[in-house]
Amino acid sequence: DGFPAARARSSSAWGALGGMSGPKAVIKTVDMAEEMQTDAIEIAQEAIGSYMMEKDMANFIKREFDKKYQPTWHVIIGKSWGALVTHATKNFIYFYLGDIAILIFKSG
């Protein structure tokens, strides 16, 4: 049906810290073009650096993706959560920045 199901589960044990520039991105599952992956990581880094509350980080990432890649994007971010989502083909990324798990996907 063009909407593969994807599972994601956060666990801080999966995180990996990077060097002095901040946490390194560790991609766990992806169905997304390289350029979009790079944008996802950079936008998430900006969100984490700019906001204290996870809901504000998620809102920032969603707004940026809706602007750049057309609606409707969904974002889940945090240290402990689980998800099972259906997403549009080539519009899914699940990754870590340090111990923060980030899931960005498009549906609808």
> All domains of the chain, ordered by start, with CATH?
5-106 (3.30.740.10)
pLDDT, residue 15, reads: 36
Please write down the HEC assignment for all residues of the chain. Answer: CCCCEEEEECCHHHCECCCCCCCCEEEEEEEECHHHHHHHHHHHHHHHHHCCCHHHHHHHHHHHHHHHHCCCEEEEEECCCEEEEECCCCEEEEEEEECEEEEEEECC
Q: CA-to-CA distance for 22 and 45, rounded, in angstroms? A: 9
Tens of pLDDT, residue by residue over 8-18, are: 655 443 333 33
Tens of pLDDT, residue by residue over 53-95, are: 999 999 999 999 999 999 999 999 999 999 999 999 999 999 9
Q: And the tokens for 98?
A: 């340090």
pLDDT higher than threshold 60 for residue 26: yes
